[in-house]
A = this chain, B = another copy of it.
Amino acid sequence: MHGYELRKELTAKLGAIRAAISYGSLYPTLRRLQAAGWIVEAAETPATAEEVPALTSRRGRVVYKITAEGKERFAELIAQAGPETYDDTGFGVHFAFFARTDQATRLRILEGRRRKIEERREGLRDVLGRAAERLDAYTLELQRHGLDACEREVRWLEELIANERSGRAPTVPPTGTAGGRREDNSPSPPGESREERP
């Protein structure tokens, strides 16, 4: 893909957890990835060969393609979990690419996230319990709302974990689930709804 397209794809895929990637972040990142050899510039074939060089310094759209090494590195990245894997954005990114990794990784990350949210929940309960009379009604309402969100997310995660253990696809799209699937290293992958864009 080229940058603009990539941005749109990611915005659709990650829209639930974060705003669009900024250009100030996108283009430098693409160059970094290229410098590392994880993507290569795959110059778009001009419609007719002779019509392109006319324009002065027009950059034109730059199409990138992931390399074998890049794929390898990507697989490593989504499978390995550091502390930032469990914060809101980090977890969202990992989760959005769950279909590309194996069940053990998915379970590990879901459980790590649950632990993190449980900690946040306890912190909020603490504040609501101990500091309640020091805080005004609006601040308290904010904490309550946050606490509610935590409890809700823990339940959501627990459902996902249970589904994962039972080998089923994520929760409950009441659609008829499609597709037997085979995979190289993972025992029981979830149904991929469709897929495969390089």
Contacts and interface: CB of A to CB of B under 8 A. Distances in A.
Contact of A137 (B137, B139, B192): B192
A169 interface: yes
How many of chain A's residues touch chain B, expressed as a range? 35 or more
A129 interface: yes
Contacts of A136: 98-99, 190, 192-195
B127 A12 contact: yes
A47 interface: no
B194 A16 contact: no
A132 B99 contact: no
A141 B128 contact: no
Interface string A140-161: 1111111101001000100010
A99 B137 CA distance: 8
A136 B170 CA distance: 10
A196 interface: yes
A138 B195 contact: no
B195 A146 contact: no
Interface of A: 12-13, 15-17, 19, 87, 92, 95-99, 120, 123-124, 127-129, 131-147, 149, 152, 156, 160, 169-171, 173, 190-198
19 contacts: A12-B127, A15-B124, A15-B146, A17-B146, A19-B87, A96-B142, A99-B139, A128-B198, A132-B194, A132-B197, A136-B190, A136-B195, A137-B190, A137-B193, A140-B173, A140-B196, A141-B171, A145-B156, A149-B152
